[in-house]
Each structure stands twice: as C-alpha cells, then as structure tokens.
Structure 1
Amino acid sequence: MDVDLFVEKHRDEWDRLRVLTRRSGRLSGAEADELITLYQRAATHLSIVRSAAPDPVLVDRLTMLVSQARAATTGTSAPGWRDAGMFFAQRFPAAVYRARHWWVPTAALFLLVSGVIAAWVANSPAVQSAIATPDSIAELTRPGGDFETYYSSEPAASFAAQVWTNNAYIAAASLVVGLLILPVVFILFVNAMNVGVAAGLMADAGRLDVFFGLITPHGLLELTAVFVAAGAGMRLGWTLIDPGPRPRARALAEEGRTVAGMALGLAVVLLISGVIEAFVTPSGMSTAARVGIGVAAELVFLVYVFVYGRRAALAGETGDIDARSAGDVAPVAA
C-alpha cells in the first residue's frame, strides 16, 4: 500500500473529524451523525494501516485521532472528585432517607429497651449483684471511676482511631449480616443491654447526669449511625424475602450496591463521632458545651438526611450507582 497516497486520499476526512471532535459539545444533530461516521471510518483506516503498512508516525497520528473521537462520541467518565461530591451530596443522604422506615423504628425500639433495662437495673439490687460485685460497681460509678476515666484512658488520637474502628466494624457487621435479619437484632440487643446496664448503675449511684453528660456528646451521632446501618441491613434482608415487582436477583443487586455505598458514608459519620468522643467528651469543657456539640452534630446529620436526602429521593435518587455503571437490565412487567 502506498502510504502517501492513502494519507492524501483521506486527509480531508481526518481533518474534518479533528474539527468535529474539538467542537463535540456544540454540534448540531447532523454534525453529531457526521462525527460518528467519520470516527468509524478513521477506526477502519487505523486498522488498515496497522495491518498493511504499519508506518509508526501515521499509526500514532491515527491512534490519537481515533481515541479523541471515541471520547467525543461515547463521553468520558466523571472525575473522581465529582463522583465523590455526588455521592455525599445526593446518593448517601437519599439512601439513608429511603431507609428511614427501618432505622427510625429501630432507634425508638432500641431506646425503649435500653430504658427498660436501665430502670430494672437501677431498682433491683438482685440484678446489680448478678452483674458485678459491690466493689466493682462502686469503682465503676464513683467520681473519677472507671466510667469517667474510660474516655481519657489513652491519647486522644489513638483513642479516636480505636473507637472509629470498633464502631465502623459494628456498623459494617450490621449491614452485612442484615441479609439474615436476626443477627442484627442480636447485635442491637447486646448494645441496648450494655447501654441500659451502665445507665442503671449510674442512676442507682445518683450520677445519671454524669452518664448523659459523657455519653451524649458522641453517643447521639454514633448510635444514629448504628441505627441506620442496622435498619439498612434489615431492609436488605427483607428485599430477599419480598423483592416487590423487581426480579429477586435484580432487587438484591440494586439494594446491595446501595448498602455498600452506605457503609462508606457511615464510616465518615462514625469518624466524626470518634473524633468527638476522643477530643470533646473527656475535655475540660462544661457539660453544657460538650452536650451542645453532640446535639449540634446530630441535628446537622438529621437535616442532611431529612432535607437534602429527601430532596434527592424525591428527584429520583435511590443511592444506587448510575445506570451506565450498573449495566443494562431486562424490562419487567409492573
């Protein structure tokens, strides 16, 4: 094949393709069709050159042109920072909002069970004696005792990392085993029992104010994240039982991807909670200031979910990845 003659014959097409590629965002319908046609021809030309006359300069030139034309015709992936911004601005809050019918009742039931256990422990010496010895309870509840010093037992940065890892593990476990539902109920009950026992012992010692002063700053946001994880996990499990109008495999795939995304978002929420627990809870600030920070953090999260998340959900956001990344699915009857 005569390379010079080949180039001379097709140069105008390549130049036109280059022009259309540069203007890809401002093309008319006819120009868009022309762009696709010239792109397909250029790809064929590249194949011919590679097989019949592999001239390095011409191959490189056509490879670059075809790559640019392909990007112009198929589009390019959004930058990573844009995907991250979309996730935290719309997908994550929408996913949490859509799961509210699961995690809000979960939160209410958890608090009810914790309150019942706390009242039972506080008013039953027999239960207290079954929990621990009088000396151990006194050591836990006294001023400067184990309950208070726990939050300052390690350097703040190290403590924050430890707390975050533990809470993230609990949230992830709730999301993952939610498919089975009952293990999540067990995890929640164990945590409700721990909170209730501690509250009951501190109440019996007349130090319930100290209990809430220490647990509220970080506990509001921390427990909310756990409730969301548990609720979303159980919602995923219920999808296996009742997928609705969608095929079961498709429903599980869509909800499973949403849950995986929620795990990432909740990890960030728990990181914030861990920082508060390590740096605010044991600090020398007044109780009102510490509790105020915890309440403010909780209110910000709730506004984030019930304002921004609701708005995104009403606009059609589900928390799943975009349709192009998820792939095509077969239509189903309504």
Structure 2
Amino acid sequence: MQKDIYKSDYYYDLPEDLIAKYPVKNRTSSKLLHLDGGDIHIDEFISIQDELKDDDVLIINETKVIPARLKLKKQTGGSVELLVLDKINKNVGNCLTKGLNKKIKEQTLYSENFPVKISIINVYEDSVEIKFNQAIDSLCDAIGHIPIPPYLNRSDEELDRDRYQSVFANDKHKNSVAAPTASLHFDNKLMEQLEAKLTICKINLDIGLGTFKPLKDEPITNKSKLHKEDFYISESSATVLNDAISANKRLVALGTTTLRALESAYDVNVKKIRSGPQSTEIFIHEGYKFNVVDSLITNFHLPESSLLMLVSAFAGKENIFNAYKYAIKNKMRFFSYGDAMIIKKCHSKS
C-alpha cells in the first residue's frame, strides 16, 4: 500500500535572489540543466538543438495567455481585482476575486476609462461566477493586465505582453491565465531550425487554476485531483503521435501542461492517444505510470507544488531534488522567467 504524500515532503529552500523577476534579454539566452537519472550538467539553452534528435517528436502547447487580470475601483475608491479563470459564455466567467463584496449581487465597478457592471451569479469555494455587461474578450483586451505570477512581486509591464507569451501562441486558443513557461525559451529562429530537423506536433491545453493553485495541507492519494482544465488534440496531431508511439520514437513534451494533456488523452485499453476536445483533472505524483512522454522540457517549479510532484514522479524525487540543489549552487534562475531543464524519464521507483 502506497504511503500518504504531503506537500511538505516537497519543500526546498530557495534564496530570494534566484527568483527570476524578469526574462533574460533574448529568449534562448537562458541556461538548460540536463538531467538523466543521476547525471546532471548545465549548458546554454540553445544546446537543445543538439539534444533533440531527427527521429524525436516535440509536442508543444499552442495556448495563448489572455490579459485576464482586471484592476477596478469601487465607487468608494476601494480596489477590486478580478482574474477571469475561464469563460462560461461570452459574458459570464469564473473569477478569482480580491476586494470584491460578494454579498452585493449587482454592482458597478470602475476602470480608468469606463464603468463595468457585474452580476454575481454563484459564489464557490475557489471562485465567483460573474456576469459582465459586455463581452469578456473585449473587456480584457481593453483594460486587462497580463496575469504574471504573484511571486514576482511586481506589477505587469509592457514587456510582459510579449515575453509572457510563447512565439507560437495561437489566437484560436486564447484561453489561458498562465503561460506554458518552458515555451518562453524558444524564439522564431530556433523554432524554424527545429522544424527543419524533426517533427513538431501542436496541441492545446487551456492553463487555469489546476496548474497554479496552491495545494491544501492534506494527504495526497491516488484519488486526489486537480482543478479541471480543458485541452484539444486534433485528429492529425493524434495520428502523428500514435504513429510515433508505434514506431517507438522518443516523445518530448515541451512543458508540464503538454505532458498532462498527453497522459490524460492516452487510452490504456487501445494504447492510443484520443483526439478531440477533452478535459483533465489528473494529479500526477509519486507512483504514476507514464505511458506517452519519454523526455520533458520544463522550468524549475515552486516548493510544495503539484508541478514539482509531477517532475519528481517523472524523473525520480531524489534525482529532482539533487538537480535543484545543483541548480541553486550554480545560481540558476527559477520559476516562470527562469532557466529550464530537460529531463529523461526515470524507469526506477521514485
């Protein structure tokens, strides 16, 4: 019987100065830590060109971050912040709120340019369902802020509109409230070079609360789930992936969101990736059996987070924590705007 897992099992101490508050000047100028079992070394990120081989399939998440953070004022002058997590329809969305009086069902808030009327439909444990008096997409485009992570301890700036977005973000998939941050290291030139060398397969997962919500102080079991996130794999992408699996090619996931979508879409009965619109609540932690992904490109993750548990399950917890210690010792940059790792799946127990 598997022992209970607690988030405290995944704590590590990180010096404040290693949190990357801003991106490096050029996307590909980051560092890349290579982790293969117990073997660790650091290179320039551009070395990914040599790491990825002709027969590999690189799977990317095309999602686009929306300027989903709305900074508003009450009539009394108090501040209200709404983060639109997902759109239920054109005018209704689930939101995280700060400073909002949830008891007042109908209220008018104010941006710098115009009033915003809202109706509170439902109040949930994690979010508030709100109807706006205008289309959410138009509202976010007009006054929204890029929802950079709170641990950066700064307001969003103009550079974040470009740099907290991958170069291959697709307007058709403009539904995420956080970036697939491993993607931020790739520029157009590198993508062109990789496209000429190997197969690149595109999927989409809308990043929401499931990716970044802090874990509760409770045991984590095989029944534990994360907040639901929607994803889509086209029929053509599923064909590429299934052909690659049949041919025993290496599948390299760019980012934990990509990995979660692929593992969730895999049908263990027919041993194939399912196509079409899908959703996942999968919580990958110690003991999980990976069926699809062989290698993972990812950034460094927060202590006690579900994503740190995911990479620990993938590479082995001891290997990951040794790699993190090595990265800290070598002054690598952490989190969303930080450096990256490429990890090979560990076949031994964590």
Output the TM-score relative to the length of structure 1.
0.21
* More helix per residue: 1
Output the TM-score relative to the length of structure 2.
0.21
